[in-house]
Amino acid sequence: MPFYHTLGNIPPKRHTIFKKPNGDYYYEQLFGTIGFDGMSTNSYHEQRPTQVKAIKKQYSVKPKVAKANNIQSYKFKGFQIQPETDYLQSRKTILTNSDCNIILAAPQNKSQEYFYKNTDADEMIFIHKGTGKLRTMYGNLDFKYGDYLIIPRGMIYKIDFDTDDNRLFIVESFHPIYTPKRYRNWFGQLLEHSPYCERDIRRPEELETYNETGDFLINVKKQGEIIEMVYASHPFDVVGYDGYNYPYAFSIHDFEPITGRIHQPPPVHQTFETAAFVVCSFVPRLYDYHPEAIPAPYNHSNIDSDEVLYYVDGDFMSRNDIEAGHISLHPAGIPHGPHPGAMERSIGKKDTQELAVMVDTFKPLQVTEEALKIADGDYYKSWL
């Protein structure tokens, strides 16, 4: 995040002696990105965070691509992804490129025995169904329906779900995830025209600290493989930290829509950005108020980006035969727009209750084998 946060106990100056009440030392760790040039956090640990006792299984989780060069529009029925008890095994990559993986998951088990660390990517986890607690080395966050959880790469975490009925929409980003720069001043503060502000962002408030040694299994993702590593101390042994690099939550229900007299383009819905793609939130809002406005989006050509729309809830005005959990893919190179009759139906309407998450990538997305299992192969004909 582009603003400062501190939690727990820290010394008055970084890189200086910090002692426990019994006279032993706490161990400092710089948790940073982009070398020493990106956002970072200084944390202080009960044990040295470098103690690896064993490296066990190593296996690939790279997506299996079915269509590498795709120009076909698709609809995927996301709720057809079957629930699985293991959190990592439940994650199914449906679309992929060299910048991101777009994933669906339906984890059933309330908690896992292992910890997880993704060293490849920042993770954006959108909670479609379920409640629970995200537990991390830098504190905990309660989550519920509609929350975005942003987890920086390298963050060790576990997720505790309250029930077995959970649906997640996940984007793994190989570039850092930021708030859009046009919403920030040069100090990093979110500006008055931003659709959300710092008050809407939930930072960790609960810090779990364990001073335990033993065998702690951490599943580490690196270069598309899971590596099972056994650490000698509990990964949640942080007594305090400060900095800019930490997990946070933001609810799609706190996104304030920007509206106008005529139809507003997709950038007004932008919520997060990276160097390679953007994430937008479509939320309940008033329609355009020009007396002759057409609320439905105009036909447009995706020349430079693939568009992925994940449908969450409500009435999807521009589409026919769309349900919650469906995903549409409109690839670069061909035009797309409202379905037949959608433009006409929209005229005179005053508002919409739709809720959706959009991901626009600047590189083409490849369709995976998992995606074809839940694909409506005739979707591209739906504009006839």
pLDDT tens digit sequence for 181-193: 999 999 889 999 9
- Residue 23 backbone class (left: φ over 0; alpha: ψ -120 to 50; beta: rest): left
Report the predicted TM-score, pTM, of the whole model to 2 decimal places. 0.97
| Residue among 326, 321, 353, 313 at smallest CA distance from 339 | 321
Per-residue pLDDT at 260: 93
| Residue among 334, 33, 372 at smallest CA distance from 173 | 33
Residue with tokens 């997880």: 116
CA 53/CA 13 separation, integer angstroms: 32
| CATH superfamily of the 28-65+82-252 domain | Jelly Rolls (2.60.120.10)
A 10 A CB-CB count for 275 gives 11
In the predicted model, what is the mean pLDDT of the chain? 95
For residue 101, the cross-strand partners are 96, 172
**DSSP annotation of 184:** B
A 10 A CB-CB count for 94 gives 26
Per-residue pLDDT at 183: 94
Q: What is the largest CA-CA distance in the chain?
A: 76
**The domain made up of 256-381 is a member of CATH 2.60.120.10:** yes
CA 64/CA 368 separation, integer angstroms: 6
In the chain, residues under CATH classification 2.60.120.10 are 28-65+82-252, 256-381
Per-residue pLDDT at 3: 86
| Residue among 138, 192, 135, 124 at smallest CA distance from 158 | 135
Instruction: Give Cβ neighbours of residue 326 (< 8 Å, ≥ 6 apart).
Output: 75, 76, 77, 78, 310, 311
Percent of the chain with pLDDT over 70: 99
| 102 phi and psi angles, rounded to 5 deg | -110, 125
Per-residue pLDDT at 10: 98
**DSSP annotation of 189:** P
Helix (H) or strand (E) holding 344: helix 342-346
C-alpha dist (Å) from residue 178 to 74, 160, 285, 328: 28, 26, 24, 24
Per-residue pLDDT at 320: 85
What's the first-to-final CA gap in the chain, in angstroms? Answer: 45
For residue 158, the cross-strand partners are 135
Query: Per-residue pLDDT tens for 45-97?
Result: 999 999 999 999 999 999 999 999 999 999 999 999 999 999 999 999 999 99
Beta strands 335-336 and 300-301 are antiparallel
- Count of positions (residues) in the chain: 384
Query: Per-residue pLDDT tens for 338-374?
Result: 999 999 999 999 999 999 999 999 999 999 999 999 9
Per-residue pLDDT at 2: 67
Per-residue pLDDT at 33: 87
Query: Per-residue pLDDT tens for 5-28?
Result: 999 999 999 999 999 999 999 999
Per-residue pLDDT at 17: 97
Rounded average pLDDT over 123-133: 97
CA 139/CA 208 separation, integer angstroms: 6
Helix (H, G, I), strand (E, B) or coil at 358: strand
Beta strands 139-143 and 238-243 are unpaired
Q: Which pLDDT band, with edges at 50, 70 and 90, does 301 fall under? A: confident
| Residue among 220, 124, 128 at smallest CA distance from 172 | 124
C-alpha dist (Å) from residue 304 to 63, 109, 337: 23, 40, 16
